[in-house]
Amino acid sequence: MRGVDRTIPQSAMNSHPNHQSNLDDSPQQNNRRRLAFIDHLPTFRQYVQDTWLDLLVVICVGALALGLNSADNASTRQFPIIFREDGDVVYPTFSYPRRKSIIPIWLDALLAILIPTLFFIIAQIRVRSFYDFNTAFWGVIWAIASTTLFQVFIKTLIGGFRPHFLSVCNPDLSRIGSGTGFQGIMYDISICSPDANKAHLRDATKSFPSGHTTAAAAGYVYLSLYFNAKMKIFSNERPHFYKLLVFLAPLLGACLIGGVLTVDNSHHWYDVIAGAIIGTIGALSAFRMSYASIWDYRFNHIPLPRPKSAWSPFGTHDGYASGSAINTEPKTTTPENFSYATGVPTFPSFAHPREWCPAGAPGDAWSRNELINADANFQRQAHYGA
């Protein structure tokens, strides 16, 4: 990396936990350091400049998804109906009764956003970085918004019949014999009763894939990845068992939501599986867009900087961020040509233990010396800014 001094200056050594610090270690000063992350909060203008495009795209994606979801299916699918001699319809796959959804889709999507956001907020007790919270929050929004649009496109263009389809369709028995295919058992929705509820009928033809499961998987898989990154559940050390339970808990929530959909006759098992796959892919993609890695424990907790952003805690490779001579004024501009770097120059040292500092990835992660220097600079900034 350009302009990086690989040597450890004496000032940085003094600020390292293994060396005596020459800074004020009074309780008041320590409290100021713990709250120093407030200095890195963006102004309202900076935040708007950084997020307005994301917000606009999310709104457009949501509006497009709502419009597609209320539209009729683009394809005409056929389904088999077998009439017994007494006139009763026999085809059990689509013959379940229509039941009220146990979890409405709006509540499912809301929980998929609010529950992860709640834990992002709780994590700030230790992380203490608004930039990290903002990155995590927008990441889960991206995951849910993108996968929702993805599954709505499939619902509208491909679709599928829900388990309660025939209960909503209520086939017109006067149309017996008008079917097509082998033995004339295949029909389309034109055989449905004229009195059938149009909205219910349209919804009953959009079973594949499951929108509930897509949103749940996107939100809760993302949360599990966040837990792993912050708690280092999958790393080079054997953690306590409770951490595995923390990692699996959101996945259990997603599985339960998917299972409930088969109980209330809203979806088939394959609808749920397809929704889970779409949501998981969206969560993995959004997390990697937001953080330096998905599974690499060395730096999967580090939120990525945004190039040419009006606000970012990641500075240039000069001043604080470079490990060169310590300046009294931090530089917070981003480099003209963005280079992949996962340093944490403005994160408090207590945000993540030093054992989890990036190491062994030259060119991709900050060296230990650079992190020691960056931490010294951060503490010096907190000291002089007090």
Residues forming the active site: 212, 267
Dihedral sign from CA coordinates of 267, 268, 272, 274: negative
Reported in sequence order, the residue ranges of the chain that DSSP labels E, i.e. its strands, are: 79-80, 82-83, 89-90, 186-187
In sequence order, what are the residues at sequence separation of 6 or more whose Cβ sits closer than 8 angstroms to the Cβ of residue 210? 151, 258, 261, 266, 267, 271, 272, 274, 275, 276
Distances (CA, A) of 374 to 12, 17, 144: 8, 14, 35
With 0-12 / 13-18 / 19 or more C-beta atoms within 10 angstroms meaning exposed / middle / buried, residue 306 is middle
Q: Measured between alpha carbons, how far is 325 from 11 in angstroms, rounded to an integer? A: 9
The kind and range of the H/E element at 214 are helix 211-231
Quote the tokens at residue 77.
Answer: 């699918």
Q: Measured between alpha carbons, how far is 291 from 300 in angstroms, rounded to an integer? A: 6
Q: Measured between alpha carbons, how far is 239 from 232 in angstroms, rounded to an integer? A: 8
Please, which contacts does 326-329 make with residues 24 or more away whose CB atoms are closer than 8 Å? 326/9, 326/11, 326/376, 326/377, 326/380, 328/384
Q: Measured between alpha carbons, how far is 367 from 345 in angstroms, rounded to an integer? A: 12
Encoded amino acid at 20, one letter: Q
Q: Measured between alpha carbons, how far is 124 from 293 in angstroms, rounded to an integer? A: 20
Dihedral sign from CA coordinates of 151, 156, 157, 158: positive
Of 1, 19, 2, give the one whose Cα is nearest residue 10. 19
